[in-house]
Amino acid sequence: MTIRSGAPPLAGVAEASGAAPAPWAVAIKDVSVCLGGHRILSNLSAQAPKGGQTVVIGPNGGGKTTLVKSILGQAPFSGEIVFDPPSPRIGYVPQRLNFDRGLPLTVLEFLTLGLSERPLWLGENRRLRPAIAGLLKSVKADHLLRRNLGALSGGELQRVLLASALSLSPELLILDEPATGVDVYGEQLLCELLETFKTRFSILMVSHDLPTARAHADWVICLNRRLIAQGPPEAIFNSTAIAATFGLHSSG
């Protein structure tokens, strides 16, 4: 397993557009993952361009989350994952947050945990309150500051997780199926927020939602245990890549 930065662009990657993105934020070269004796990813080579939003699409079980874990260094793999710039600050929004919803923890306290070394039992760190309020305002969730974390809807919780990721001032933001458990309004709001953020840093988002990828992606990676194709959405959705990724009867 190799994770490094500053390498030259990859060559020989399957692209729907015929041209590799440059410059790139993340380059994945010949990455394979075997877990429990099963091959999850096989010789995957792809790139996510710097700036804008890259959407990884594919069927359930196609290896999308495994790819994210490999990029985050949370899954063993063979091959190389290359970053530009070196050692970027990475913000991560998971597909879901597993926690006890009965826990008496407010949004303010939850976000404080990631910003302060001071234990919560010593009381609120008032110096952090303006910064946390600003983070929540940036994701249109400032009204949630004093709400209990366990009382939030799916969309509200995803925006709080997004605020937590933004607290790291990321150069690369990774989101794994952020619309899971989110209603239509929450999904639309999340997409609008990401559109505003992609001018500030690179975004890599996993999704199985084809309309979202078509409408909001600047670059699409089609994945089904191996690379099927990659390219701008207008090239991907006007090719056979979608059918090859999801099956002959796919639509959208």
Q: 104 preceded by cis ω (within 30°)? A: no
Report the predicted TM-score, pTM, of the whole model to 2 decimal places: 0.86
Write out the H or E segment, with its range, that includes residue 176: strand 172-176
Angle between helical axes of 154-166 and 129-138 (0-180°, round to 10)? 120
**Predicted local confidence at residue 7, as pLDDT:** 37
Is residue 55 within 8 Å of residue 120, measured between CB atoms?
no
Per the model's pLDDT, the better-predicted residue between 116 and 43 turns out to be: 43
Domains of the chain (ranges; CATH) run 1-88+171-252 (3.40.50.300), 99-169 (no CATH)
What mean pLDDT do residues 27-55 have? 94
Residue 188 confidence class, pLDDT cut points 50, 70, 90: confident
